[in-house]
Amino acid sequence: MRSGEVGRSVTALVANIRRVMEPYTATHLRERRTNRLKDFVAVAGQLGVTNFMIFSRTEKHVNLRIARVPRGPTLSFRVLDYALTKDCLALQNNPHTSDMDFRTSPLLVLNNFRQEGKEFKVMAAMLQNMFPAIDVQTMQLSQARRVLLYNYNEDTQTIDVRHYGIGVKTTGVSKSIKRVVSTHIPNLSQFEDISDYVLKEAIVSESDVEDGADATVTLGQDYRGRNNRKNEQRAVRLYEMGPRMTLQLVKVENGMCDGEVLYNRFVKKTDEELREQDAKRQRTLGEKAQRRQQQQANVEKKEQEREEHRRRTGAQQQDEDEEELDDIGDQDMDMEEDQPDEDSDSE
């Protein structure tokens, strides 16, 4: 979602990111100027929302915050540059787009994230928890349709985000043969024989032949597409679907868009400041624990008072009921004494 005025380009980027995160995302969410972060947090639990991706814009930069609901942590990035989906597809001769690809979540790939520093561990855990866990032993191969790549560049200290679709191709044949066996039959009206079409180009370019064994796999299950059956040899191809982003981690916070700062790119603390920060955090945790104990004691005290009140009111009600029964018994005895004796009347 977006926060504040971001412009048309960033608004389109937000829509593209929602498309990437499908099917588990609020595709049709509409933000209003009056909405605040606490409003979204209040309804997140009811809607099953676990993470926020918040885009904002200043005079100089586009920013992205990824936050875990409801208690954090929060990753703050600077979007150094980006390209929309339409721009990525415009660069391709044959762009691939299909709504079927967005019925399952993309496969997350984190590359080069095993770096020193706790910020990388937090980043990796946050990104992994944004997507459903998969079991390679039980998952259906047909569900692997997209890949979302986060690649950390050590030289520039930036993160490249790319979104790809997954396709498989027949191996060991030229493009002309693949056109024949595919569902798109070529126009053969100008040829007298099929061999004329196949042998038209005696020398094919390297791009007409598939890559070597390192790019081929044996299908463990039937895959989407024609003739993609189990145990067949196929070459895996990735085609970019967009959008692209280049991110730079700026800050890591322990809470939901606030709290203790675990990492800041532009502020480096000394050992003394770190010790003071840790001591302050320990004091805060101790105060929270003390407040919880006090609240628990107050709850138990109120419960005891309620129980004692119920006992007192129950005993008082029982005494009142016994007194009422005694009064009724006395009235019955008085009525019997006032009743005339039938034998004396007959005499």
User: E strands of 44-119, at which residues?
Assistant: 51-57, 62-68, 74-83, 107-111
CA 190 to chain centre: 54
Distance, in Å, from the CA atom of 27 to the CA atom of 15, rounded to the nearest integer, reads 8
Say how many C-beta atoms besides its own lie within 10 A of residue 45's C-beta. 11
Q: Give the model's pLDDT for residue 36.
A: 85
Closest CA to 122 of 259, 17, 14, 25: 259
- What pLDDT sits at residue 191? 65
Are the C-beta atoms of 19 and 85 separated by less than 8 Å? yes
Q: Name, in order, each residue with C-beta under 8 angstroms of 277's C-beta and a sequence gap of 6 or more.
A: 260, 269
Which amino acid would we find at residue 145?
A: R
For the chain, domain boundaries: 7-172+210-268, 271-324
Q: Which residues of the chain have pLDDT under 50?
A: 201-210, 212-213, 342-347
Residue type, 28: H
Q: Is 45 helix (H, G, I), strand (E, B) or coil?
A: helix
pLDDT at 247: 97
Entry pTM = 0.69
CA dist., res. 149 & res. 158, Å (int)? 13
Q: What is the pLDDT of residue 215?
A: 64
Q: Which of 46, 71, 25, 51 is nearest to 259 (CA)?
A: 71
- Write down the pLDDT at residue 206: 40
| Rounded CA separation 337/127 (Å) | 92
pLDDT for res 44: 86
Is the separation of the CB atoms in 66 and 126 below 8 Å? yes
* pLDDT tens for each residue of 109-131: 999 999 988 899 999 999 999 99
3-state helix, strand, coil in the chain (%, to 5): 40, 20, 35
* Cα dihedral across residues 131, 133, 135, 139: positive or negative: negative
Q: How far apart are CA 100 and CA 108, in angstroms?
A: 18
97 to each of 17, 20, 260, 346, how far by Cα in Å?
A: 15, 12, 43, 114
Residue 159 to residues 3, 51, 124, Cα–Cα distance (Å): 22, 19, 12
